[in-house]
Chain A
Amino acid sequence: SQQGEEDPQALSIQEGENATMNCSYKTSINNLQWYRQNSGRGLVHLILIRSNEREKHSGRLRVTLDTSKKSSSLLITASRAADTASYFCATGSYSNYQLIWGAGTKLIIKP
C-alpha cells in the first residue's frame, strides 16, 4: 500500500540551482528514508531520518521531518547533471517489516 506521496511528480531546474522535493505520509512512523534511482536501475539509499529528529544533512542533501504535519522535504543544493534521477521517500513503522513507498519525484537537471 502506498503511504508516501511525493510532490512534485516532476521537477526540472537549471544546473547549480537548488531542488526541493516533498513527501507526505499518513500513519505514525519510526523513520523516513529517501532513495535515488537513476534511469531504469536499482535504488540507492540516500539518507534516513528518525521520527525524533527534525533535520539531517549529508553532503549536499538536507532532509527535514515534521511529524506533526506528517511531511518531509529533501533539499539538494547546487544541483549537478548527475543528480538527474527519480527520488523516492519510504517510511518505516513499528508495526511493519516493510517500508511503505511513495510514487517518486522525477528530477531533471538542465545543463
Chain B
Amino acid sequence: DVKVTQSSRYLVKRTGEKVFLECVQDMDHENMFWYRQDPGLGLRLIYFSYDVKMKEKGDIPEGYSVSREKKERFSLILESASTNQTSMYLCASSLGNYNEQFFGPGTRLTVL
C-alpha cells in the first residue's frame, strides 16, 4: 500500500523559532509537494520538487524554504515562524506531472 508520512500530526512552536516539517514517501515518486490549507482558501502550493535537489516556488513561498536531498524525503522549513503561519500543512507526492497525488495525514502547526 502506498504511503506518505509526515513527521508530526500536531506541532506547537513559538514565534521566531525555526521549524522543520518532514515528509517521506515510499513510492519512488519524482514529484513532491508542500501545501498549506486554511479554512475557505482550499489548498495553496508552497513549494514543489520534481527531482532530487530541484525545487520550484509555488503560489505562496514567502517565509518558507525546502530541501530535497533524497528522492523519498522532502522537508519544509520555516526559517522564523510567525503567527500567520499557523495552518494545516499537507505533503503530497506524484508519479509524473499532473497525475494523481498521494497525501500524507497533515501536520497541524500552531505558532504562538
Contact = CB atoms under 8 A, between A and B. Distances in A.
A88 B58 contact: no
Nearest to B105: A42
B104 A45 contact: no
A50 B59 CA distance: 25
Nearest to B43: A101
Contact of A31 (B33, B90, B98): B98
B97 A43 contact: no
Given A1-B59, A40-B108, A44-B103, A30 B42 contact: no
A103 B31 CA distance: 23
B102 A45 contact: yes
A44 to B, nearest CB: 7
Nearest to B106: A42
Nearest to B30: A97
A101 B42 contact: yes
Interface in B9-59: 31, 33, 40-45, 48, 50, 56, 58-59
Contact of B100 (A48, A97, A102): A48
Contacts of B56: 97
A102 B42 contact: yes
A58 interface: no
A11 interface: no
A98 B103 contact: no
A93 interface: yes
A96 B101 CA distance: 14
A104 B48 CA distance: 22
Nearest to A89: B42
A96 B97 contact: yes
Contact of A43 (B44, B48, B90): B90
Closest CB pairs A-B (n = 6): A92-B98, A42-B103, A103-B42, A101-B43, A43-B103, A42-B105
16 contacts: A2-B42, A40-B106, A41-B106, A42-B104, A43-B90, A43-B101, A45-B101, A92-B97, A92-B98, A98-B45, A98-B58, A98-B98, A101-B43, A102-B42, A103-B40, A103-B41
